[in-house]
Amino acid sequence: MADYFDTPYAALMLDEVEYYEYVIHELTKFIDIGQKIGPALHNRAQAYWEIGRNEEALAGFDAAIASLPSSHMPSQYKGVMLHKLGRTNEALAALDLAVSIFAERSNTSKNERLHPRGSRPSRTVAHRPRPRGCLGAVIPVHSR
């Protein structure tokens, strides 16, 4: 399943503060009725950040991180924001969290592709790769 934040409509690109205020209002309504709370929290935090309401943005990113524990994006955005605010140690902690979430998700996805439905091969001789000669020919293995 694709991550919500991989879709192009997750980015907020508005020209006027009034539009951001409107977006914040609409996202708050989504949050209040319980629809897509995680993505709404993340996008609202972005909107707060864009109009300079940094404390509300940080609180929003924290809420989005709690609501979307398997998505690296809220932590990444929080880290970038903290870096731009000159809060380097906090930024590094947030970015470290983002990297660890992304790495965990990537490893899980890779394992699911290699071994669908949790079926992993057993560690027996039958599943070990056969030795190959210098031209790629399979070398027979004799068991005793």
- CA dihedral over 93, 94, 100, 103, signed as positive or negative: negative
**What is the pLDDT at residue 19?**
82
Please name the residues in contact with 4: beta carbons below 8 A apart, sequence gap of 6 or more. 10, 36, 38, 39, 71
Residue 103 inside a domain? The answer is yes
Residue 91 inside a domain? The answer is yes
Residue 142 inside a domain? The answer is no
Residue 33 inside a domain? The answer is yes
**What is the pLDDT at residue 42?**
92
Please name the residues in contact with 108: beta carbons below 8 A apart, sequence gap of 6 or more. none
Q: Range of 76's domain?
A: 4-118
- Report how far apart the first and last C-alpha atoms of the chain are (Å, whole number): 48
Identify the CATH number of the domain in which residue 100 sits: 1.25.40.10
Instruction: List 138's β-bridge partners, or say none.
Output: 132
**What is the pLDDT at residue 5?**
46
Q: pLDDT tens string for the chain (144 positions)?
A: 344 444 444 444 555 667 888 889 888 888 898 877 888 899 999 999 988 999 999 999 999 999 988 888 999 999 999 999 999 999 999 999 999 988 887 776 555 655 555 555 555 445 555 555 555 555 555 555
**What is the pLDDT at residue 54?**
94
Q: How many domains does the chain have?
A: 1
**What is the pLDDT at residue 7?**
44
CA angle 64, 51, 68 (to 5 degrees): 10
Residue 133 inside a domain? The answer is no
Residue 102 inside a domain? The answer is yes
Residue 138 inside a domain? The answer is no
Run of H or E residues at 17:
helix 17-33
Q: What is the pTM of this model?
A: 0.63
Residue 47 inside a domain? The answer is yes
